[in-house]
Amino acid sequence: MRIVGGKYRGKKLFSPQNTAVRPTSERAREAIFNILYSHLGGNYENMVLADIFAGTGAFGFEAISRGMQHVTFVDQNTETVERNAKMFDKERDKFAIIKANALNLPRLNRNFDIIFMDAPYAQGLSQKVLSEIITKNWLKNNGICIVEVNKNEVFDLIDGFEFIDTRIYGIAKILFLQKK
């Protein structure tokens, strides 16, 4: 597993020791950032991102590599993301790691331009976390939430969001949602 674009392109990341962790593929990450680049006009400099169910942190570190202002990683088990964070010591002021259950997000003094979440497949967690995002005001108005689910998984959109795009990469379906 490696960073596929930006300043740290080619940098290898530690893979998870736990086989239940399923990092977003390099191909899917590349495609997601291309779609974001197009949708946001190519400017990540002033954007802040939350990577929920961060796992390895691959998505968030990809965002830092591409110039994102700040990334907040959230996971119950932060061992692998912390291990990968040590390789980004020069960027330490550009990220924070929160050890928390995504079903009970902490209240923060900031909200995010973009949220990426890759919950374990087929457990109905994505919709529950979207409700948390709305309740705890984690996403700015018109902010984008990118949700990865299994391509065969039924996904019912909750109030407060609208679909703006959907893509399929291998076994993953990537949903791009915008907060109303």
| Domain assignments of the chain as residue spans, ordered by start | 26-179
Give the separation between CA 129 and CA 52, rounded to whole angstroms.
Answer: 9
Tens digit of each residue's pLDDT (9 = 90 or more) over 97-133: 999 999 999 999 999 999 999 999 888 899 999 999 9
> How many angstroms separate the CA atoms of 161 and 168, rounded?
20
Counting residues of the chain whose pLDDT is more than 70, the rounded percentage is 96
Q: Looking at the domain that runs over 26-179, which CATH code has it been given? A: 3.40.50.150
Global pTM reads: 0.93
